[in-house]
């Protein structure tokens, strides 16, 4: 599947933009699914992201930094190598960031960040909270 890189339109719509990129759905169609959320004030969590993906024929395999709760052992290496054709990753862009941010990672490790025009690497981010491989159901 070819990805169409997009930039986010609102302050907290990075997840919508990432969903549009990985599913091929138009941005406005993704936004309609989340009708009533003011993305200038706040975004969505990975729970809502997973719900959209399932309702549109996709599944995820999401892994977290810790093997259970936060005090459990950390996965090594972290972050993981890409394990799907496309991923949606939840990151903390900078140490001073107050909100997590969703980005798209391809199998070759290239990052498409809805907030920036340049291609990045996962190591460019302060923290990586989780990585979700995204799979089309039935393929």
pLDDT digits (tens, 9 = 90+) for 83-130: 999 999 999 998 888 889 999 999 999 999 998 878 788 989 999 999
Judge whether residue 1 has pLDDT over 60. Answer: no
**34 and 44 Cβ atoms separated by less than 8 Å:** yes
Q: CA-to-CA distance for 90 and 23, rounded, in angstroms?
A: 17
Q: What CATH number does residue 65 fall under?
A: 3.90.70
Distance from C-alpha of 73 to C-alpha of 46, rounded to nearest angstrom: 22
Q: What is the DSSP letter of 117?
A: S
Query: What's the pLDDT tens digit per position in 33-43?
Result: 988 877 777 67
Split into its structural domains, the chain has a count of 1
| Residue showing tokens 């981010």 | 125
What pLDDT was estimated at residue 2?
Answer: 61
Q: Tell me the whole-structure pTM to 2 decimals.
A: 0.88
For residue 83, the enclosing domain spans 14-136
Predicted pLDDT at 115: 87
Q: Does the pLDDT of residue 18 top 70, yes or no?
A: yes
DSSP secondary structure code for residue 124 in this structure: G
């Amino acid at each position: 599947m070819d990805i169409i890189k997009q930039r986010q339109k609102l302050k907290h719509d990075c997840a919508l933009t990432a969903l549009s990129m990985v599913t091929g759905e138009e941005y406005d169609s993704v936004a309609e699914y989340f009708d009533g959320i003011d993305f200038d004030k706040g975004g969505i969590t990975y729970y809502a992201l997973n719900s959209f993906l399932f309702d549109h024929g996709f599944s995820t395999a999401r892994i977290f930094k810790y093997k259970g709760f936060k005090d459990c052992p950390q996965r090594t290496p972290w972050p993981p190598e890409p394990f799907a054709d496309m991923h949606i990753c939840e990151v903390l862009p900078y140490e001073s960031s107050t909100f997590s941010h969703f980005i798209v990672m391809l199998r070759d490790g290239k990052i498409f960040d809805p907030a920036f025009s340049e291609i990045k690497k996962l190591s460019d981010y302060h923290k990586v909270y989780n990585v979700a491989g995204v799979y089309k159901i039935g393929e």
